[in-house]
Amino acid sequence: MKASTSTIWTSEQSQKPRGQKWKRRAVLKALPFGFRISGFLRLSDFGFRFWASLVLVAWPALQVQAAPFEELFREGVAAYRAADYAGAAKAFRQSTTVQPASGTLQNLGNAEWKLGHTGAAVLAWEQALWLDPFNMPARMDLRFARRAAQLESPELAWYEVVSTWLPANWWTWIAGASLWLAVGMVMLPGILRLRKAAWHQAVAALGLMVFLLSVPAYLGVHTRSRVGFVLQKDTLLRLTPTLDAQAVTRLAAGEPARLVRTRGNYVLIRTNRALGWVEREQFGLTTG
């Protein structure tokens, strides 16, 4: 009798770690890759528990952060469909504050347009394209708005035009990754004592080529970040950054300009035809 009990006990003991092992594998599979690597490097139970606990604690926090952003987006859509454009614009703006997103900015532009805020609408659509140049509705909205309000598009240099082909941040990562790929393919075979192969040099050359090609776009992103849009109707372009300054001209809402410098409550901007100062709140940069 004792023997059988002992046998059963032994069986349970032997199965328990196996079950834990399977559970652990399942959890590891569910974890992001980075956590799996960490789990692999720390094979001790403590390491596994630590990372699992971290994920379990952090995951709800991430969900809490994501929830208001999408909830606000849905609120905005509902308000827009109920023709409450002011409420929709407010919700979309709050959503972009939490998490800038191309679709949210596109909808914000629509709501602002319905409210008659041409400048804010153009800025929102431009920001949507800044994040996602493949957002065709936002592109069509801009074309529609510029035709309706008789506005010009920003004048871009060739390297700035190139930078509009992909999302702004992509160029940065492409340039960085390709450069370090080229460096790595030159250095690593020697360090790792691999026999030098033609493909090492080919990949290094490819990386260098991509890097050199992406540099102009990288610079274009940098200069495009100074492009902004006039937000208010009949904005005075002033000769000096003072309240009583002589007016150079009046700018229409949505007109593009480049930020030159800032001084106090005024910004010096260069439009397609003139250079002058406007109040800071009358001008919005694409980069926020």
Under the rule (CB under 8 A), what is the footprint of another protein?
Answer: 69-70, 73, 77, 80-85, 95, 99-104, 106-107, 110, 113-114, 127-128, 130-132, 135, 137-138, 140-141, 143-144, 147, 167-169, 172-173, 176, 180, 183-184, 187-188, 190-191, 218, 221-222, 225, 286-288
Which whole-number Å values give the CA distances from 267 to 72, 108, 117, 284, in the listed order? 32, 25, 21, 10
Judged by beta carbon, residue 250 or residue 261, the one nearer another protein is 261
Q: Least distance (Å) from another protein to the CB of residue 204?
A: 13
Q: Least distance (Å) from another protein to the CB of residue 114?
A: 7
Judged by beta carbon, residue 167 or residue 254, the one nearer another protein is 167
What backbone torsions phi and psi does residue 153 show, to the nearest 5 degrees? -85, 160
Q: Least distance (Å) from another protein to the CB of residue 227?
A: 12
Q: How far apart are CA 272 and CA 255, in angstroms?
A: 9
Q: Least distance (Å) from another protein to the CB of residue 278?
A: 20
Judged by beta carbon, residue 213 or residue 245, the one nearer another protein is 213
Tokens of 29: 């599979």
Q: Least distance (Å) from another protein to the CB of residue 205?
A: 18
Tokens of 112: 């602002």
Which whole-number Å values give the CA distances from 13 to 6, 24, 49, 91, 267, in the listed order? 10, 17, 20, 57, 74
Contacts of 190 (CB under 8 A, 6+ apart): 196
Which whole-number Å values give the CA distances from 148 to 24, 118, 119, 249, in the listed order? 61, 10, 13, 21
Query: Across the strands, what pairs with 259?
Result: 269
Q: Least distance (Å) from another protein to the CB of residue 81?
A: 7
Task: Determine contact, residues 256/156, Cβ cutoff 8 Å.
Answer: no
Judged by beta carbon, residue 38 or residue 99, the one nearer another protein is 99
Judged by beta carbon, residue 148 or residue 274, the one nearer another protein is 148
Q: Least distance (Å) from another protein to the CB of residue 150?
A: 13
Q: How far apart are CA 47 and CA 83, in angstroms?
A: 54
Judged by beta carbon, residue 185 or residue 269, the one nearer another protein is 185
Q: Least distance (Å) from another protein to the CB of residue 106?
A: 5
> Residue 216's Cα: distance from chain center in Å?
20
Q: How far apart are CA 184 and CA 180, in angstroms?
A: 6
Judged by beta carbon, residue 95 or residue 232, the one nearer another protein is 95
Judged by beta carbon, residue 47 or residue 189, the one nearer another protein is 189
Q: Are strands 283-285 and 227-230 parallel, antiparallel or unpaired?
A: antiparallel
